[in-house]
A and B are shown apart, each in its own frame.
Chain A
Amino acid sequence: MTARALVIAVCAAVLVAATPVRGQDQPVFLASADAATVIRALLTAPTLVDYEGTKILTALRGQRAETVTILESYKRSGKLRLEFLSPESASGRLIVDDGASSWHYEPSRHIVMRGPSFVTAQPAVDPAAILSRYDAMVLGNEQVIGRQTVVLSLQPRGGGLVKRLWVDQATGVVLRTEERDPSGELLFSSLFSRISYSLNLPSALFRFHLPAGARIFSFYVSGDPITDPQELSRQAKFALRAPIVLAGLRFRSGTVARHGALTAVTAQYTDGVGVVSVFQTPASRMAMPEVGATVALRGMQGRWLDLGYFRILMWQSGGVSFAAIGTLPLHTLVTIAEELNAAAR
């Protein structure tokens, strides 16, 4: 090896060592990026970065704020391991999602619940769709746990939760989030109190090992997704209301969910980013749930259940029990109810 080649090799090694870890992709530096660039970076991060860290979640449930501490490990693309540290009632709970199935182990009951994956490595979301639905704005740069982040604000144009995201400038991983209702009340927050990036977390970490003697419950309650509303109506076997467009949202897919005595047909609608689910089941097979507060709809009464992160509006019309659930404000869910009731008339 010549001296010149040696110098080049040493320089290359120094350059690689100095490069912030971002999977096998080139690093991004978002310090002076616009909102669209930041959004693109955070959308692609799950396909590029492995990490493990300690995350603190705080969610408002009814009148009570609940704080949960979790060891979160993520492996690209779409593998997740969650170990719950607190509160005590959830301590020791383990969730392993290998991208195809999720396994929940509850140590206090020594049971395992198996169901479909809830991790999507690369959401099929177009950054342009986000920009058309939200007023996106970069508020500046801040440090979170010693890492430089860019602060992104997302205000939904149709109303709903206002999001603020602290995006790691080097990796695109969201290190901190806040979601507030339009009145400014904080409904949900998350914060990594520690994070380590890795080029390649071991695959064994994302394989679930069944504890000896644990009881297993299978929770594959939903059928395959159906993308044709007419086919969904055929499978429902009752007069389903599944318009293509509902309150400005487009039909995405539907399923038939069955658990015990309840069979419900779900139709999911999206604005290109978020999702609203509308559940329908014949009223002869499901009474009106006695939960939440009474709310007046046009010509009828419904029930409104505010779970903080999710909100549910339930009502009965034309012999069908309905429930609409999402992170949308009440008035949007009421619009959904009125449009569905009008479709029946």
Chain B
Amino acid sequence: MTHARVQRQLSALLDNELTADEAQELRAHLETCARCREELERLQGLKRLLGAVQDRTPPAQLWDDLWRRVDAPAPGTVAGLLETIRAAFRRPALATAAAAVVLMLVAFPLVRGRIDRLRAAEIGPDLFVREHALAAATDPFADRAYLGLLVSDVNLVLIGERRERGEELR
């Protein structure tokens, strides 16, 4: 019988939870082992100490309160979200990161909208020339070769290729 096994069974011995054979075997070991006897005495002292502690009666409304909370409806999505946000703000690093994400979500469309508006102004006249040149093909006096030149020049600008002949719309 090992000390480790004996020490696991000491508490069960005090509570009379061992079989007769196990109890006899354990007592035989205790007669020869001072270390385990010392451990048994320590456990007996602890048990006496716990036995001296008086039970306290719970408040009368405890069960009522518990059942009321169990029966209460689950919090709504918004309330849950607010609670999650409140929980997040209890951690400063998380709160800072969340604020940065919110700021980006709000700012990105605004910045992008502004860039798109300026870009539209930049390419607008070129697109207008192109579309009008195509529409002017029905004019019997329009020169087809010149319309073709205009359209291809403007297409080059619209795909981001620079003009080389100093033909920027100024």
Contact = CB atoms under 8 A, between A and B. Distances in A.
B63 interface: no
A259 B145 contact: no
B89 interface: no
A118 B165 contact: no
A277 B132 contact: yes
Q: How large is the interface on B (under 10, 10 to 19, 20 to 34, 35 or more residues)?
A: 35 or more
A134 to B, nearest CB: 9
Contacts of A57: 143, 145-146, 149
Given A165-B141, A275-B132, A188 B125 contact: no
A285 B116 contact: yes
B140 A42 contact: yes
Contacts of B20: none
A279 B156 contact: no
Given A104-B155, A260-B123, A288-B121, A118 B146 contact: no
Interface in B121-160: 121-125, 127-141, 143-152, 155-156, 158-159
B158 A273 contact: no
A118 B138 CA distance: 8
Contacts of A289: 121-122, 124-125
A86 B76 CA distance: 74
A72 interface: yes
Helix, strand, loop or mixed for chain A's interface? strand
A274 B144 contact: no
A179 to B, nearest CB: 8
A123 B139 contact: yes
Interface residues of A, number: 84
A106 interface: yes
Which of B120, B123, B130, B147 has the most chain A CB atoms closer than 10 A to its own CB? B120
A116 B134 CA distance: 8
A117 B134 CA distance: 8
Nearest to A253: B135
B5 interface: no
A219 to B, nearest CB: 6
Nearest to B158: A259
B155 A305 contact: no
B131 A102 contact: no
A190 B156 CA distance: 24
A279 B152 contact: no
A118 B133 contact: yes
A243 to B, nearest CB: 18
Contact of B119 (A43, A118, A261, A323): A261
26 contacts: A57-B143, A57-B145, A82-B145, A89-B164, A90-B149, A95-B152, A109-B161, A115-B134, A119-B137, A219-B155, A219-B158, A259-B127, A260-B120, A260-B158, A261-B117, A261-B123, A264-B131, A268-B135, A277-B132, A279-B124, A286-B121, A291-B170, A292-B125, A305-B125, A309-B146, A325-B128
